[in-house]
Amino acid sequence: MEQHAEIQYNGIEENKEYIEIINKVIKECFSNEGLDKLKLYISITLTNPEEIQKINKKYRNIDKPTDVLSFPMFQKEEIEDLISNNYEIEDVLGDIIISIPKVKEQANEYGHSFERELAYMVVHGFYHLMGYDHMNDDDKKEMRKKEDEILNKLHITRGE
């Protein structure tokens, strides 16, 4: 199986379960969006609240920890062009940074599994890299629909 994610750890222990969840979700995301034929990959860093707060402050000027950050390398139109022309460039689609302790906290808070919460963070970050956002209601609906589609295909639902 071709890997579309390069996973790194910053301030937390490596974990095989994290890798399996992430690769499963990213593979479905790439397939669903027609990226699986391209030679793109995502850099994913799993970290702790202290490290993600530093990154959030440096790049977004928000001095507090968060659950996930995404840094796209392409505009939405550029990605659509890559897909429609089937370009074979080897490049990073973007970076996703996830706070694992925050994922655990939110899984407990929302009453679902760690797998579901981590999968949601990955798919949420992925769609930010694809140029989707949730700044207004219409954009939020479109993004949520895509996120739910991926999680439903993988049978990863709320409350699990």
Which amino acid, residue 151?
Answer: L
User: How far apart, in whole angstroms, are the C-alpha atoms of residue 148 and residue 125?
Assistant: 13
**Locus of tokens 């027609």:** 34
Domains and CATH numbers, the chain: 5-153 (3.40.390.30)
Contact call for residues 33 and 82 (beta carbons, < 8 A): no
Residue 93 gets the label, from left (phi > 0), alpha (psi -120 to 50) or beta, of alpha
pLDDT digits (tens, 9 = 90+) for 70-99: 999 999 999 989 888 877 778 899 999 999
pTM over 0.85: yes
Residues of the chain where predicted confidence (pLDDT) is lower than 50? 1
Contact call for residues 128 and 72 (beta carbons, < 8 A): yes
User: Which pLDDT does position 127 carry in this prediction?
Assistant: 96
User: Which pLDDT does position 96 carry in this prediction?
Assistant: 98
Contact call for residues 97 and 45 (beta carbons, < 8 A): yes
